[in-house]
Chain A
Amino acid sequence: MRGTDLIGLPVIGPDGSKHGRVLDVRLVQDGPLMGAYAALRIEGLVVGHHRVAAHLGYDRADVSGPWLVNLVVGLLTRGNRWLPWEQARLEGGVVRTDQPELEGVQPL
């Protein structure tokens, strides 16, 4: 699988309603050592609606300012949610989950 195959897929809840789309894939470095670093494993998916806004990093990384951009991007990324990888199932072009509600995204 390629990493970007996941990005953009719709995320569907147990009742068939849509949580949004996969905006990003969170990787955690906790696998066996591969070269200089521990292997990167998929920890979960960032789910939401505005891809370009999410890729600016205002919702998760150390990006802040100026206020106008904070405001606009903040509004667009406010609804971003977190789906742990264990609770996600890949089924032919969609990501399904049994979670009716998703939590907010932890910042990095």
Chain B
Amino acid sequence: MKKVLQVFLGVLTAIGGFVDIGDLVANALVGSRFGMSLAWVVAVGVIGICLFAEMSGRVAAVTGRGTFDLVRERLGPRAGLLNLVASMAVTFLTLAAEIGGVALAFELVSSVNYLLFVPLVAFLVWIVIWRMPFASMERMFGIAGLALLVFAVAVWQLGPDWGGLAHQATHPVVPDGEGHPTYWYYAIALFGAAMTPYEVFFFSSGAVEEKWTKKDLVIERVNVYIGFPLGGLLSLAIAVATFIVLFPEGVEVSRLDQVALPVVLGAGKVGFAFLIVGFVAATFGAALETALSSGYCIAQYLGWSWGKHLEPRKASRFHLVVLMSIIAGSMLVMTTLDPIKVTEYSIVFSAVALPLTYFPILVVANDSGYMGESVNSRFTNGLATVYLVLLTVVALTAIPLMLATKAGQ
């Protein structure tokens, strides 16, 4: 019974934890501009993150080593460092976007300028990392993030033409008035939002923090294979909601209150309250994950002791890096850069940086010297090959498409 409860909570955490500011912004934006014609990308992204997370979690459970420990070991210190810098830059950008997102949610309820909330948010992020146990931290924000299910409720209440939605999703065409490059640019953004590198750093380092062993792999797989696809469905609900309400009006999402509009129309004031709770939980939870991830990456590359399971005195440099990234991230938001724009860039760069960590993990997952019996199965390797090619193509085309479309305008 205890086991069932553990699995159930794990799945709920994975669903709520799946959505962060990247998924919110990308899905809302894509829904309002492209309707359901990019829904297939969410499916491709969800399968990709399931594959990558399962592989890295398994590697972490069997070897006890975090992602960047192995990246440096496989690529050597030079290529490893290049990798570290790129991954850190993306993670840092994401952290800034999440902090900005929490502050924007506070602005939405208080009508006080979000910039005033940034230092408070930064402090809260730090204090939670400093004081709260790892498992309760992960669970609390993951489960509170489920409040975003209000998007699904709103869609239900708005009573869309389900057949039409399904037809659009299964027969994707580029909508009138949008060019093919823009369509593909947002496909990459949506993909990067579903498959963000920090999710993998956090997931695999979390496996080490919680001292997973081979025995925990079954639970890990259930969490990933059930939680992430349901999280993907939740993010699709956001796209549907903005599609029904904003697409007919020709409104392109660029602010948070526009994302809230369908919820208010569909589920009223109570719905709005749920939206805020879910939004704060999802972005705050992701801010914790990205801040910790920046510490994980550097500490693992340099061989420092790291992790929340240690008393901070024993992992001082790790905690120093985490603290400094939070400070730097909030300073970036304080420059008044639009957090929504920062989010858009962070998810596209995520897609660019993905192969850098995906490839070394794929190699280690095939190394029986490390993994023994737990090497990739033939099926996993088949799928992994498809994604290796896909991730490479996406990474190579992202920047040219960004330049060609002026970042999707």
The 0/1 profile, CB within 8 Å of B marked 1, for residues 54-72 of chain A is: 0111000111111111000
Task: Considering the complex, give the chain B residue whose CB is closest to the CB of A108.
Answer: B369
Task: Considering the complex, give the chain A residue whose CB is closest to the CB of B376.
Answer: A65
Answer whether A55 and B369 are a contact pair too, CB < 8 Å, given A63-B363, A66-B381, A69-B363: no
Q: CA of A62 to CA of B363 in the docked complex: distance in angstroms?
A: 11
Q: Residues of A contacting B376 with CB < 8 Å?
A: 65-66
A 59-87 contacts with B by CB, 8 A: 61-69
Q: CA of A67 to CA of B382 in the docked complex: distance in angstroms?
A: 8
Task: Considering the complex, give the chain A residue whose CB is closest to the CB of B363.
Answer: A56
Q: Residues of A contacting B75 with CB < 8 Å?
A: 52, 55
Task: Considering the complex, give the chain A residue whose CB is closest to the CB of B73.
Answer: A55
Task: Considering the complex, give the chain A residue whose CB is closest to the CB of B360.
Answer: A56
A 22-76 contacts with B by CB, 8 A: 51-52, 55-57, 61-69
Mostly, the A contact residues are: loop
Answer whether A68 and B388 are a contact pair too, CB < 8 Å, given A52-B79, A55-B76, A56-B74: yes
Q: Which of B76, B366, B376, B388 gathers the greatest number of chain A CB atoms within 10 Å?
A: B366
Q: Which of A51, A65, A69 gathers the greatest number of chain B CB atoms within 10 Å?
A: A65
**Contact, CB under 8 Å: A62 / B369:** yes
Q: What's the nearest-Cβ distance from chain A to residue B61, in Å?
A: 19
Check if B252 is an interface residue, CB within 8 A of chain A.
no
Q: What's the nearest-Cβ distance from chain B to residue A57, in Å?
A: 6
**Contact, CB under 8 Å: B367 / A57:** yes
**Contact, CB under 8 Å: B368 / A63:** yes
**Contact, CB under 8 Å: A67 / B385:** yes
Q: Residues of A contacting B367 with CB < 8 Å?
A: 57, 61-63
Check if B321 is an interface residue, CB within 8 A of chain A.
no
Count of A-B residue pairs with CB < 8 Å = 46
The 0/1 profile, CB within 8 Å of A marked 1, for residues 59-79 of chain B is: 000000000000000111001
Q: Residues of B contacting A64 with CB < 8 Å?
A: 366, 368
Give which listed residue, A56, A61, A62, A66, contacts B384 with CB less than 8 A. Answer: A66
Q: Residues of B contacting A61 with CB < 8 Å?
A: 367, 369
**Contact, CB under 8 Å: B388 / A69:** yes
Task: Considering the complex, give the chain A residue whose CB is closest to the CB of B79.
Answer: A52
**Contact, CB under 8 Å: B362 / A68:** no
Give which listed residue, B76, B366, B382, B389, contacts A51 with CB less than 8 A. Answer: B76
B 375-394 contacts with A by CB, 8 A: 375-376, 381-382, 384-385, 388-389
Q: Residues of A contacting B79 with CB < 8 Å?
A: 52
Q: What's the nearest-Cβ distance from chain B to residue A50, in Å?
A: 12
Q: CA of A52 to CA of B72 in the docked complex: distance in angstroms?
A: 11
Give which listed residue, A55, A66, A69, contacts B382 with CB less than 8 A. Answer: A66
Q: CA of A78 to CA of B369 in the docked complex: distance in angstroms?
A: 21
Task: Considering the complex, give the chain B residue whose CB is closest to the CB of A63.
Answer: B367
Q: CA of A66 to CA of B362 in the docked complex: distance in angstroms?
A: 8
Task: Considering the complex, give the chain B residue whose CB is closest to the CB of A73.
Answer: B363
Give which listed residue, A51, A63, A65, contacts B369 with CB less than 8 A. Answer: A63
Q: What's the nearest-Cβ distance from chain A to residue B360, in Å?
A: 8
Q: CA of A63 to CA of B74 in the docked complex: distance in angstroms?
A: 12
**Contact, CB under 8 Å: A52 / B76:** yes
Q: Residues of A contacting B74 with CB < 8 Å?
A: 55-56
Q: What's the nearest-Cβ distance from chain A to residue B344, in Å?
A: 32
**Contact, CB under 8 Å: B366 / A66:** yes
A61-B369, A63-B368 are known; give 9 further A-B pairs, CB within 8 A. A52-B75, A52-B76, A52-B79, A57-B369, A64-B368, A65-B375, A66-B376, A66-B388, A69-B388
Closest 7 A-B residue pairs measured CB to CB? A66-B381, A62-B368, A66-B385, A63-B367, A65-B366, A62-B369, A68-B385
Interface, chain A (partner B; CB < 8 A): 51-52, 55-57, 61-69
20 of the cross-chain contacts (CB-CB < 8 Å) are A52-B79, A55-B76, A56-B74, A56-B363, A57-B363, A57-B367, A62-B367, A63-B363, A63-B366, A63-B367, A63-B369, A64-B366, A65-B381, A66-B362, A66-B366, A66-B385, A67-B381, A68-B389, A69-B363, A69-B385
